[in-house]
Structures are given as C-alpha cells and as structure tokens.
Chain A
Amino acid sequence: MHVGYIDLLLWAAAFAGHITLLAVIFVRHRIRAFPLFTVLIAVNVLKSLILYLTFLQGSKSSYFYTYVFFLILDLTLQLAVVFEMASRVFRPVNSWGRDVARNLFSLAIASVLLAVGLTFLAQPHTRLPVKAAIIRFDLFSAVLVSALFVGFVVLSVRAALPWRTHVARISQGLAVYSVVDVVLESARTCFGLNTTTALYVLLSQVRIAVYCACLVYWIVTLWQDAPAPKSLNSQMRWQLAALQDRVAHDLASIRLRRK
C-alpha cells in the first residue's frame, strides 16, 4: 500500500490535533462535563498509533481487521457522544423533559431508518465486496449522526431548551463533519474504485482535512470559557426554595386533573 506525503501530513496533523485537544480537555477541566467525548478523542489517539504501527509492521489482513474494529468502535463512541450531548440539552434537571422523551425516541428510529434506506440504495463502484461494505458503513454512520444532530437542534428549539456553550460547540463540530462526510461518502459511492484509486484517495484526504478543521474548532472553543451565568443572592435563593414547594404542589394537582 502506497502512502504519499499528503497522507502522512494529514495523519500527523490529526494526531497532533487529538493530542492538543486532549490536553485542552484536561487542562480546562472539561472531562467531568464531557467524559464520553474525552473517551472518543482518546480512542482516536490510540487508533492513529495502533494503525500506524500495524501499517509499518503488520500484515495487510491484520491492518484491515484493526481498521474495521476501530471503524465500529468509532461509530459506537460517536453515538455515545450524541447521547451525551442529548442528555445535556434534554435533561436539564437530571430527568428527560416530559414533552421530549417520545420525540427523541421517534427521532432515533427515523434516523436509523433513513440511514439504512440510503445505505441500501447505495451501490459502491468497486469490485471488492469488503471495500463496498466499508463505504456503505461510512455512509450509514455519517447519515445517522448528521440526522440525529439536526433533529436535536429542531427538537430543542421547538421545546425551548437552551444549549450550553460547550455542548453547542462540540455538537456543531460533529454535525458539520458528519454532513460533509455524507457528501464525500456519496461521491465515493458514485465514483468508486472501478478504474483508479486517485479520486477515492483524494476524497479521503478531504475528509481528514475537514476533520482536522473540526479539531481546531474544538481546541479553540473548549479552551475558551462559557459566558458567566448570573447568580441569585441569598434572599432570592430562599424564595426559590419556597417556590419549589408550591411548584411541586401545583404539578400534583395538574396531574390529578389530567386523570
């Protein structure tokens, strides 16, 4: 397998980006707020190292199996991050908003069906079934993640639930990358590998370049602090505590009326 200078440069840029982002997450104490996102980034560091070492010293088949393993792990972790972001937005007080739980479930089902449908329609132009399967899997994950994130934006705006600054920035990065990935994977599907690998390689390079841009965006935005919230004074706090009791009572009566 031939690796050009641009591939090496992109690999080094992505690796450096992941390391820098991990450092930012630890130094700025973002790990407690985003543990699953931290795991995703850490696994990407590990993936780059292991794949590079396998490429240098392992066989072609061992590289392929390692690549597929990380492909599946990557999608699993991306979905975990999607869940993490959703829980930050739709579960502001440690319970899912009553009005959004069912909508979220419907969104998840619709996104999976959409991704399965598009993947089924795709006919990658390659003679290798394995390569076709990888292109289909990439397309599936890109469609799924982008549909979920856009769905979250729609649901949160309709339910009037605000996005915290860092949650919004991480989600924007992942959503933009996924949407661009849908375009690139579709192009791969159409133009494929029938005659030459040049276009396939170019599309892969564009994908990594876009991902590197997302890494830079996350590094900058996670380094910055979110706008400072306003705080309640002691009298307000006391009044709010009293209000809580009234709210609990009112809710109970509203639920009674519904029955």
Chain B
Amino acid sequence: MDLRLIAFLLFVTAFLFCIAAFATFYWKRSRARAKVEWKHLIARLTFLDRDSIQQVALDHIDDFGGVRDDEGARLLDSSDVWHLIGGMPGLVALERNCEVLIELACYLQRWYPEAMMAAEQLRNDAREIQWHVGRLKDAVIPGKMESEFADYARPAIAGYYLMTRRVLALYEAADFMALAELQRTI
C-alpha cells in the first residue's frame, strides 16, 4: 500500500469521525433546546443586582438608551464599575445570563413566528453584548484593567441593561404567565 493511499484513508477516517462527532453532539444540543421548557430556561438565569446594573448603565446612557454627554455622565471609574458588577463572578454571571437571554429569544422564534423580528434583534444584541463581555474578561489582566475596563464595561452593561428591558417587554407582550418570575431574576 503506497503512502498516498494511507494518507488518504487516514484523512477520510478523521473527516468521517469529526463529521459524526460534531453532528451527533450539536444535533443532540439542538434537540434538547427544542424540548426545553420555559421554567428550565428561567432556572438557568443567575441573579444579578438589578440596581447596580442600572446604576452602571445609566451612568453611560439615558432612560431612552441614548449615550449621555452631559456633565453627570461617566462619573464611575473602573473600581466603582468593578465593585458594582460584583467582580469576576459578576462578569461570569453576566455572560451566562446573555446565553440564557439568547435561548429565550430562540424559544420565542421557534414558537411565535410573529415575534420573529423582535426575537432576532434580541438575539443579535445578546451576541453583541457577549462579545463586549468577552473583551471585558480579557481586560481583566493585571495592568490592563485600569485603563480599559471601564471603557468596555460601560457599553457592555448598558447593552445588557437595555436588552433585559426588551426581553421583559417582549415577554410582557406575549403575555407569559412566568413574567413575574423573570422580572425578579433579571
């Protein structure tokens, strides 16, 4: 058997193994997501101090979501922001909640086609905020944090704050029974 044939067989076997592994793993995840119930999604949300999130968010944006440029804007420094969001555990909880909010948007897309537009915008926003939170976690490196943390934190938390308001509004519109439970959590 020549070398090229052996290489071909090895690559084809590896390709088929990867295809089977990825397809099985992700298809199972997709099936599990399709079967997920509202109460299970809610149970995955981690409690975050809504007042602190609001304080950081409203330091950066106004009540209507516009970036503030008045004198009272961006008074919180990096250590204030870090303290208010609860340090690294708070950041991790924020990231996890973003994932759950994406799942909530997915749930709505799946079962309420009429809410497709709003749900898709929510999903896009949540992904964007996930990106900000990812940068935020990168910024938590000694020496780098002081200069960049607040810059990344403010838009991420303001985005998270706006998104949670929209999720609540969307679920309020869809008249979900568990709205009160969601309001308590996010």
Q: What residues of chain A have their CB less than 8 Å away from a CB belonging to chain B?
A: 92-93, 97-99, 114, 117-118, 121-123, 143, 146-147, 150, 153-154, 156-157, 159-163, 175, 179, 182-183, 186, 189-190, 229-233, 236-237, 239-240, 243-244, 246-247, 249-251, 253-254, 256-258
Contact = CB atoms under 8 A, between A and B. Distances in A.
Contacts of B113: 229
Nearest to B104: A160
A244 B174 contact: no
A253 B65 contact: yes
Interface stretch (B3-11, B44-52, B82-90, B141-149): B3-11
Contact of A247 (B8, B30, B67, B118): B118
Instruction: Pick the 3 closest A-B CB pairs, nearest first.
Output: A239-B173, A121-B8, A160-B106
B38 interface: no
B124 A121 contact: no
Contacts of B26: 153-154, 157
A248 to B, nearest CB: 8
Contacts of A231: 112, 114
Nearest to A186: B12
A153 B22 contact: yes
B155 to A, nearest CB: 4
A239 B4 CA distance: 64
Interface of B: 2, 4-5, 7-9, 11-12, 15-16, 19-20, 22-23, 26-27, 29-30, 33-34, 60-61, 64-67, 102-103, 105-106, 109-118, 120-125, 127-128, 155, 158-159, 162-163, 166, 169-170, 172-175
B15 A157 contact: no
B15 A232 contact: no
16 contacts: A98-B127, A118-B12, A153-B30, A157-B29, A162-B34, A182-B19, A229-B111, A230-B112, A231-B112, A243-B170, A249-B64, A249-B65, A250-B163, A254-B155, A257-B158, A258-B128
Nearest to A153: B26
Contact of B7 (A121, A150, A251): A121
